[in-house]
């Protein structure tokens, strides 16, 4: 029971950062998916269709750099927010990326494996949260 409580202990700064990544990842994926399906407005710059995975990569890059260079709690939380949102935007278009890089295939936004990928990414983040519980538990006993 103590171990389960430790998993949900968001007072642990590392777990809090991982929970921020998980929640913003899921939220940005859901918002991007709803927006793309129901509104579908695209951004064009000089005739090029700018997909939201580019914005995801930008957020991932800025969040990663901010996370590496930061020491304060607020900046690390902001970096986690950017990383989570970036992963969500990128993962939302994973089907498009996989379909459009194959010769003679029509680029399709809908991809049957998208939700498997989302579940896998979520599982990896959750496993990381659990792993920090083990690491924290073992380091406390030393």
Domain-by-domain residue ranges, the chain? 15-39+49-134
Question: What are phi and psi for residue 49, nearest 5 degrees?
Answer: -80, 115
Query: Read out DSSP for 41-99?
Result: --EEETTEEE-HHHHHHHHHHHHHHHHHH--SHHHHHHHHHHHHHHHHHHHHTHHHHHH
> Which pLDDT belongs to residue 78?
98
Q: Model confidence over 6-61: pLDDT tens digits?
A: 777 777 888 999 999 999 999 999 999 898 888 877 777 888 777 888 999 999 99
Local structure of 113: helix, strand or coil: coil
């Amino acid at each position: 029971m103590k171990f389960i409580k430790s998993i949900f202990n968001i007072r642990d700064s590392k777990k809090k950062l991982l929970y921020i990544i998980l929640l913003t990842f899921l939220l940005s994926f859901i918002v991007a998916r709803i927006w793309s399906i129901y509104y579908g407005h695209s951004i064009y710059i000089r005739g090029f269709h700018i997909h939201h995975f580019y914005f995801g990569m930008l957020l991932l890059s800025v969040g990663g750099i901010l996370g590496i260079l930061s020491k304060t709690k607020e900046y690390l939380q902001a970096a986690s927010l950017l990383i989570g949102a970036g992963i969500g935007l990128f993962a939302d278009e994973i089907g498009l990326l996989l379909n459009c890089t194959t010769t003679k295939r029509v680029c399709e936004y809908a991809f049957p494996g998208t939700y498997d990928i989302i579940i896998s990414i979520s599982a990896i983040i959750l496993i990381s949260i659990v792993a920090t519980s083990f690491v924290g538990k073992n380091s406390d006993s030393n």
